[in-house]
């Protein structure tokens, strides 16, 4: 199968691993900031193929995991309004807020529906004209253009019962915050899907300001291993730069049309990330001309957000300072059937990846 068998070829993998072993003459730490990479690194056993000198750590790459507790509290409060339908991606349903989850609110009678896209939420609004339909808009640059299209379409057809609560985020500010928080890394394995939209240009500032190499990687074993090799080459030649390993999908300029639509609808503002706190110009909010589609502007609800369970270290895991095995709750009190923190809820969460592919609790 094209781009599957070729990128999983054992002979190619062994040759590349041998080259990596020769290059790794001292300890290096590389961080991936993509939930898909986190899952595949564990799924394919990439750490077991690497020499002990190379350590891979996971960063804030899972959009569900980095969604702040206050956002969940806000959405559950909105779900309790009369004549309201909440549309959400499925993996947000079980993310814990301060007191409840969307899943629990649905079980209690709230009209909460799982959708596959923002356009599904838009369709729900057109089919239920007497209901207020609110879409839980989360995700990075990958999903933000789709939400922007839904807002523009709502404007086009004069749809008055559709709105979004945006928690869309952009990746570079979080990557900067990680380094500024004194997390010691030698380079970034940059997200593939995000970069198909934004391109490689957005990482140039990180490379320039912090002297860190950035390699945009695909998702197959050879993609990830080649990205590590490219970072090692940069370190050998003391030449940090932004490179694209995932050339079959990513261009330096990204998707210009998607970026234009996204920038037409959204503006970057300061916002909260789970574990990382408030990060400047990191969250996408609707521009003032689209406030009529902004649930935060249209609906007044009260909610009380408190600090999460002190035993959960999801925030430290998202910063790359801890790993799941460092958590006293991991695989015991906290597991996919009973997740305490967001990192165990999502299919792209670091804790779930470790639990699933390290066979904890089996």
User: In 80-113, where does DSSP find H-type helix?
Assistant: 102-107
Q: Calculate mean pLDDT across residues 156-168.
A: 97
Q: Calculate mean pLDDT across residues 159-176.
A: 97
Instruction: Tell whether 88 is covered by a domain.
Output: yes
Instruction: Tell whether 239 is covered by a domain.
Output: no
Residue (of 25, 5, 63, 9) closest to 225 by Cα position: 9
Task: Determine the Cα–Cα distance for residues 275 and 193; give it in Å rounded to an integer.
Answer: 23
Instruction: Tell whether 284 is covered by a domain.
Output: yes
Q: Are 27 and 53 in contact (CB under 8 A)?
A: yes
The CATH number linked to 102 is 3.40.50.11740
The total domain count for the chain is 1
Would you state the pLDDT for residue 4?
72
Mapped onto helix, strand or coil, the DSSP state of residue 54 is strand
Instruction: Tell whether 136 is covered by a domain.
Output: yes
For 116, the domain range is 69-170+254-298
Instruction: Tell whether 220 is covered by a domain.
Output: no
Q: Calculate mean pLDDT across residues 142-171.
A: 97
pLDDT in tens, 39-69: 999 999 999 999 999 999 999 999 999 999 9
Where residue 31 falls among pLDDT bands split at 50, 70, 90? very high
Residue (of 134, 140, 135) closest to 118 by Cα position: 135
pLDDT in tens, 237-247: 999 999 999 99
Instruction: Tell whether 63 is covered by a domain.
Output: no
Mapped onto helix, strand or coil, the DSSP state of residue 336 is coil
For the chain, the average pLDDT equals 94
Q: Calculate mean pLDDT across residues 262-276.
A: 95
Instruction: Tell whether 288 is covered by a domain.
Output: yes
Task: Determine the Cα–Cα distance for residues 296 and 274; give it in Å rounded to an integer.
Answer: 19
Residue (of 172, 258, 256) closest to 214 by Cα position: 172
């Amino acid at each position: 199968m094209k781009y599957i068998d070729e990128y999983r070829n054992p002979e190619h993998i062994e040759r590349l691993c041998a080259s990596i072993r020769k290059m790794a003459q001292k300890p290096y730490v590389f961080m991936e900031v993509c939930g898909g990479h986190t899952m595949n690194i564990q799924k394919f056993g990439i750490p077991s193929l690497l020499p002990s000198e190379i350590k891979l750590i996971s960063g804030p790459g899972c959009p569900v995991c980095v969604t702040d507790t206050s956002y969940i509290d806000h959405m559950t409060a909105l779900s309790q309004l009369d004549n309201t339908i909440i549309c959400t991606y499925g993996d947000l349903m079980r993310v814990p807020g301060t007191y409840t989850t969307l899943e629990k609110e649905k079980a209690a009678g709230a009209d909460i529906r799982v959708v596959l896209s923002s356009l599904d939420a838009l369709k729900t609004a057109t089919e239920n004209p007497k209901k207020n339909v609110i879409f839980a808009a989360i995700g990075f640059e990958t999903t933000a253009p789709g939400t922007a299209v839904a807002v523009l379409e709502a404007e086009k057809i004069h749809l008055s019962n559709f709105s979004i609560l945006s928690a869309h985020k952009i990746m570079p500010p979080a990557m900067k915050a990680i380094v500024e928080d004194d997390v010691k890394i030698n380079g970034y394995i940059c997200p593939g899907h995000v970069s198909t939209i934004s391109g490689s240009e957005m990482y140039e500032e990180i490379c320039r300001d912090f002297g860190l190499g950035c390699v945009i990687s695909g998702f197959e074993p050879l993609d990830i291993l080649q990205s590590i090799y490219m970072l090692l080459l940069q370190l050998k030649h003391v030449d940090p730069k932004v490179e694209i390993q995932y050339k079959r999908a990513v261009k330096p300029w990204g998707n210009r049309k998607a970026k234009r639509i996204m920038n037409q609808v959204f503006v970057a503002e300061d916002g909260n990330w789970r574990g990382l706190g408030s990060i400047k110009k990191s969250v996408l909010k609707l521009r003032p001309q689209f406030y009529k589609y902004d649930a935060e502007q249209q609906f007044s609800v009260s909610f009380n957000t408190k600090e999460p369970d002190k035993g959960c270290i999801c925030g430290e895991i998202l910063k790359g300072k801890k790993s799941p095995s460092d958590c006293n709750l991991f695989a015991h009190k906290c597991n996919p059937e009973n997740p305490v923190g967001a990192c165990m809820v999502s299919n792209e969460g670091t804790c779930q990846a470790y639990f699933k592919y390290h066979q904890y609790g089996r």
